[in-house]
Structure 1
Amino acid sequence: MAVRYTVPGVSTKDAEQLIKTLQKRLSAYNDLHLTLKHVHWNVIGPYFIAVHEMIDPQVDLVRGYADAVAERIATMGGSPSGTPGAIERDRTWKDYSIGRDTVLAHLGALDLVYNGVVEDNRKAIAAAGEIDPITEDMLIGQTAELEKFQWFVRAHLEDLGGNLASTDSSTEKGAAEATRTDA
Structure 2
Amino acid sequence: MASKDLPHYTVPSLTPQDGAKVAAILQSRLNALNDLALTLKHIHWNVVGPHFIAVHEMIDPQVDAVRLMVDAIAERIATLGVAPVGTPGALVKARTWDDYAIGRATTIEHLGALDEVYIGIITDHRQAASDTEDLDTVTNDLLVGHLHELELFHWFVRAHLESVGGALSTEGATTEKGAAAAAGKAE
Partner of 1:82: 86
TM-score, L = length of structure 1: 0.98
Matched, 1:92 2:77: no
Residue 90 of structure 1 deviates from its aligned partner by: 2.3
Count of aligned pairs between the two proteins: 183
- Looking at structure 2, the residues matched to 167 and 86 of structure 1 have their Cα atoms a distance apart, in angstroms, of 33
Matched letter for residue 113 of structure 1: V
Give the TM-score, by structure 2 length: 0.96
Match of 1:122 in 2: 126
Find the aligned partners of 1:95 and 1:16 in 2 and give their Cα distance.
28
**Equivalent residue, structure 2, for 1:139:** 143
> Which runs of 5 or more structure 1 residues have no equivalent in the other structure?
none
Please give the alpha-carbon distance, in whole angstroms, between the structure 1 residues aligned to 2:66 and 2:131.
21
Q: RMSD in angstroms over aligned alpha carbons?
A: 0.7
Runs (4+) off by over 3 Å? none
| 1:19 alignment partner in structure 2 | 23
Deviation (angstroms), 1:61 = 0.5
Instruction: Tell me whether 1:148 sits opposite 2:152 in the alignment.
Output: yes
Corresponding residue of 2:56: 52
The sequence identity of aligned pairs, in percent, is 56
Helix, strand or coil at the partner of 1:114: helix
What one-letter code is carried by the residue in structure 1 that aligns with 2:140?
E
In 1, the alpha carbon distance for the partners of 2:29 and 2:134 equals: 17
1:143 alignment partner AA: L
CA distance, structure 2, for counterparts of residue 110 and residue 155 of structure 1: 12
Unaligned runs of 5+ in 2: none
